[in-house]
């Protein structure tokens, strides 16, 4: 499963050099990640109701080319490594002509209502099998 999120850059995303500031990408990747989880059948509202959260533990970005304003971009997300308590996601940001300008890998630990590590396979087996299906 791969999802695609359309991004329209915003004026204040650009710094004084006229290019999108590097701290904007994590916000975009979060939006794309939310779309991925919704498509998978485990939306933010679902997580919120259950008190379950994919806590960010590792975020790795590679800046390959600049973006500017105004510009339309597309972010693809796909699942990477997964286990009952953790999940890796892989991202690409592309321009309209398909040039990759940024790539990202995020790594998450599932946390439960007590804010501690949470075994998704044991506690939410249906959702865990959706993740398994999405990552294969």
Q: Is 49 in the site for its own copies (CB under 8 A)?
A: no
- The strand pairing partners of 111, in sequence order, are 53, 117
Candidate list 12, 49, 126, 136; residue touching its own copies; CB under 8 A:
12
27 vs 133 by CB, closer to its own copies: 27
Is 68:19 a contact under the CB 8 Å cutoff? yes
As measured in angstroms, the least distance from the Cβ of 96 to its own copies is 15
Listed ranges 14-22, 71-79, 89-97, 116-124: which one lies at the site for its own copies (CB under 8 A): 14-22
End-to-end CA distance of the chain: 8
CB atoms within 10 A of CB 110: 25
Q: Is 70 in the site for its own copies (CB under 8 A)?
A: yes
* Positive or negative torsion for Cα 112, 23, 34, 122: negative
Residues that bind its own copies (CB under 8 A): 10-12, 14-18, 21-23, 26-27, 30-31, 34, 44-45, 53, 55-64, 69-70
């Amino acid at each position: 499963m791969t999802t695609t999120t359309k991004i329209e850059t915003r004026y204040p995303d650009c710094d004084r050099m006229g290019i999108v500031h590097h701290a904007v990408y994590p916000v975009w990747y979060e939006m794309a990640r939310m779309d991925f989880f919704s498509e998978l059948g485990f939306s933010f509202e679902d997580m919120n109701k259950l008190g379950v959260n994919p806590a960010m533990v590792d975020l790795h970005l590679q800046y390959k080319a600049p973006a500017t304003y105004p510009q339309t971009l597309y972010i693809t997300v796909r699942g990477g490594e997964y286990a009952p308590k953790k999940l890796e996601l892989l991202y690409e940001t592309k321009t309209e002509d398909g040039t990759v300008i940024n790539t990202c890998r995020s790594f998450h630990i599932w946390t439960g209502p007590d804010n501690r590590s949470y075994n998704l396979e044991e506690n939410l087996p249906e959702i865990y099998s959706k993740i398994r299906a999405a990552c294969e």
